[in-house]
Amino acid sequence: MLYELIEWLKEFGALGLFIHSFLDAIIFPIPAFFLQVSLSLLDPSSALWLATVGYIACLLGTPIGYLIGKLLGNALLYKLLKKEWIDRATAMFQKNGETAILVGSFTPIPFKVFTIMSGCMNFPLWRLLGYAALGRAVKFYVVGAMFYFYGRAAEGMVKDVSLYIFIGSLPLIGLYLWLRRRRRLKREALRQSKLAQAEDGDSQTEQAPDLESAQPGLVLEQQPRVTRHGMHASQEKSVPPEQ
């Protein structure tokens, strides 16, 4: 029945892809990738336009999938999708949420698993949108570019496109995670340095003796001194009090 629905959406062209991609981020169990490929086969010259339509629709659906996850939790996922998909996505998310979203954006796992799971785990929405925008752009536009430049010959290439994208993006993901960790360590080191300086300043303030409190019997007496112009100027001198 679901595949019949996809065939029906196919008749609407770009609008059908928009609807499919929008639902792909929310609840639809079949990725929009399949409809994108079918429509790109019909007219390879419009492949990049179709990629843009699918990409925008997916981003618009992402906050709704997030909200569903926040309100309903994981129970909905297990009712709609394969347990294997959910378990794999959960393991990825628990290890590193950012990497899970980036990688999940172009794996065979339906993207709504990651949008709903982000809501379940209270992952920041703005970060979900940022990583989804990056990952989904890669998925949609790589497929679109292959059909645009290679025409119908790209049909035999795209079936393994997720694997190729994943392998090709591993160095970029690794570099991003390394830079992110390095920035976090620098920020933590700077924070620790500021705390140490503040503690040193407090300890020096506490250790600095107050002149009058250290020698309570000491009073100040002003004595005259002669300047170079011959005028007297007052000068403070510490003397003990009279007995």
Pick the range with the lowest mean pLDDT from 68-72, 74-78, 202-206, 224-228: 224-228
DSSP 3-state percent helix, strand, coil across the chain (nearest 5): 75, 5, 20
Indicate the pLDDT class of residue 237, thresholds 50, 70 and 90: very low
Choice between 14 and 101, residue whose per-residue pLDDT is larger: 14
pTM for this model (two decimals):
0.66
Give the model's pLDDT for residue 238: 47
Choice between 236 and 9, residue whose per-residue pLDDT is larger: 9
pLDDT at 146 over 70: yes
Alpha carbons 85 and 109: distance in angstroms, whole number: 6
pLDDT at 85 over 80: no
Q: Quick check: helix, strand or coil at residue 176? A: helix
Give the model's pLDDT for residue 204: 65
- Per-residue pLDDT reduced to its tens digit, 87-142: 777 777 777 777 777 777 766 677 888 888 888 878 889 988 988 898 888 889 98
- Per-residue pLDDT reduced to its tens digit, 175-233: 767 877 788 888 888 888 888 787 776 666 666 555 455 555 544 455 555 555 555 54
Q: What are phi and psi of 106, to 5 degrees?
A: -135, 25
Distances (CA, A) of 61 to 55, 58, 64, 219: 10, 5, 5, 79
Among the listed residues 135, 158, 163, the one whose alpha carbon sits nearest the alpha carbon of residue 35: 158
Which one-letter DSSP state was computed for residue 145? H
